[in-house]
Amino acid sequence: MKRTKRIGSAALVGALFAASAWVVAQAQSQAQTQVQDAPAGDAGNGKRIYLAVGCFTCHGRSGQGGALTGPAPILASTAMPFDGFKGQIRDPSNDMPAYSDAVLSDKDIGDIYAYVKSLPGARSPKDIPILNN
Partner 1 sequence: MSKRRSADSSRRNFLKSAGLAGAAAAMVPPGTANAVPAAPQTRKAAIPGPRQVAAETLAPAADPVNQTSSGGDFMVDVFNSLGIEYLAINCASSYRGLHEAVVNHGNNKPEIITCVHEDIAVHLAQGYAKMSGRPMAMACHGVVGLQHAAMAIYNSWCDRVPVIVLGGNIMEADKRAPGAEWAHSGVDIGQLVREFTKWDDQPASLQHFAESTVRAYKIATTPPMGPVFIALDAELQENPIANSKSLRIPKFEPVTPPQGDSGAIAAAAKMLVEAQNPLIICDRMARTPAGMANLVQLAETLQCGVIDNVGRMNFPSRHPLNQSFRRGLIGQADVILAIEMNDLWGTLTHFSDRIVRQSRPNTKPDAKIITLGVRDLYLKSNYQDFGRWQDVDLDIAGDGEASLPALTEAVKRLIDSSRKDAFSVRGQKLAKLHTAMVEQSKTDATIGWDSSPITTARMCAEVYNQIKDEDWSLVGTAIRLTWPHRLWDFKKPNQWNGVSGGGGVGYNLPASIGAALANKKRGGFTVAFGGDGDFMFNPGALWTAAHHKIPILYVVHNNRAYHQEYMFLVAMAARHGRGVERMDIGTTIKDPNIDYATIARGMGVHGEGPITDPKDLAPALARAVAAVKSGEPAVVDVVTDPR
Site for partner 1, rule CB under 8 A:
1-24, 26, 52-54, 56-58, 60-69, 74, 76, 94-95, 97-100, 102-104, 119-125, 127-128, 130-133
Among residues 13 and 35, whose Cβ is nearest to partner 1? 13
Among residues 4 and 36, whose Cβ is nearest to partner 1? 4
Among residues 1 and 31, whose Cβ is nearest to partner 1? 1
Helix axes 43-52 and 106-118, enclosed angle (nearest 10)? 100
Q: Count of alpha carbons within 13 Å of 88, Cβ hemisphere only?
A: 17
Rounded distance between C-alpha atoms, residue 70 and residue 96, angstroms? 8
Q: From the CB of 42, what's the least distance to partner 1, in Å?
A: 18
Q: From the CB of 37, what's the least distance to partner 1, in Å?
A: 25
Q: Is the dihedral of CA 9, 95, 82, 47 positive or negative?
A: negative
Q: From the CB of 92, what's the least distance to partner 1, in Å?
A: 9
Q: From the CB of 113, what's the least distance to partner 1, in Å?
A: 17
Among residues 2 and 36, whose Cβ is nearest to partner 1? 2
Q: Is the dihedral of CA 116, 119, 123, 129 positive or negative?
A: negative
CA-closest candidate to residue 116, choices 50, 17, 31: 50
Rounded distance between C-alpha atoms, residue 27 and residue 32, angstroms? 9
